Structure 1
């Protein structure tokens, strides 16, 4: 499906210059002279290269639809991750790079979605939010009771997040996997 250069949005998968690219960031610019354009930061899903490209409204680009398939994460084997197809129980090994920074949140048995292009896995999507236990949290500073104040905490997987002052060590919280932000306390 062809779309205009100014209709590109973050998360879109594009076919561009012979590769498959995922849009990371966009910035719409309307200079004083000339036409408006979209500055697009993209990452190649096959080889990991990044690029910044300008698309004008007259430019068209092919938007790609990826097939998705449900898998379950089994275990880590060095820099490889082993997943099992939930339909036929076949196992596949993928590079940890396909998960990116969200790798810290992968746990044994976690259900994930693999995005496939021509039957080849090109990215792994974890659930948006996961539960985690805080193993270390700074003490509350007296007088710092404003609702907008947060303190650093370390989760069981080693990830640092900012949490409200009333959250202490040993508390289970819900964390946004991709922004690494505190969402809520688990009841």
Structure 2
């Protein structure tokens, strides 16, 4: 589906210069001289390159629709991750850098969604929130509890997050995978 360069929005997947790109940020600019344009920051989903491109209203780009499929995470093998198709039980291996920082939150048996382009996996989406156990939390400083201050804590996967003062080591909490923020205690 073709769209105008000024109709590009964050999260769109577009075809540009023979590659598949995910739009990260946009900024509409209307200079005093000349026509308005859209400054688009995007990341290549095949090789991870980032670029900034200016699109004018006369420019058109192809908006790509990705297929999604449910998979289950099985295990890691060196720098590769093994996933299983939940329908066919077929296993595939993907490089761990496809997930970026979110890879630290993968848990055995976790259900994930793979985005496919022309039957080839190009991104992995984890659940927005996961449960994790705190293995190390700083002690509360006296008088610190009066304000809504947070303290650093380390999760079982080595990720550092900021938690409220009443959270102690050994507590299971819910964490936002992509923001790496404390959501609440696990129920």
Which of the five TM-score ranges fits, normalised by the shorter chain? over 0.9
> Deviations along 1:85-141, whole A, 9 cap, x unmatched?
000100011111211110000011000011000101111111011000111111112
In the alignment, the residues of structure 1 paired with residue 39 and residue 20 of structure 2 have an alpha-carbon distance, to the nearest angstrom, of: 18
Q: Structure 1: 5+ residue runs without aligned partners?
A: none
Q: What is the TM-score with the length of structure 2 in the denominator?
A: 0.94
Q: Structure 2: 5+ residue runs without aligned partners?
A: none
Partner of 1:171: 171
Partner of 2:73: 73
Residue 114 (str. 1) matches residue 79 (str. 2): no
In the alignment, the residues of structure 1 paired with residue 33 and residue 142 of structure 2 have an alpha-carbon distance, to the nearest angstrom, of: 54
Instruction: Name the Cα RMSD after superposition.
Output: 1.4
Q: 1:9 to 1:92 in 2, by over 3 A?
A: same
> Deviations along 1:113-171, whole A, 9 cap, x unmatched?
11000101111111011000111111112222355311111100000111111111111
Partner of 1:62: 62
Alignment of 1:1-187 (within 5 A): 1-146=1-146, 148-187=148-187
Q: How many residues align?
A: 187
In the alignment, the residues of structure 1 paired with residue 127 and residue 147 of structure 2 have an alpha-carbon distance, to the nearest angstrom, of: 28
Q: What is the TM-score with the length of structure 1 in the denominator?
A: 0.94
In the alignment, the residues of structure 1 paired with residue 147 and residue 86 of structure 2 have an alpha-carbon distance, to the nearest angstrom, of: 43
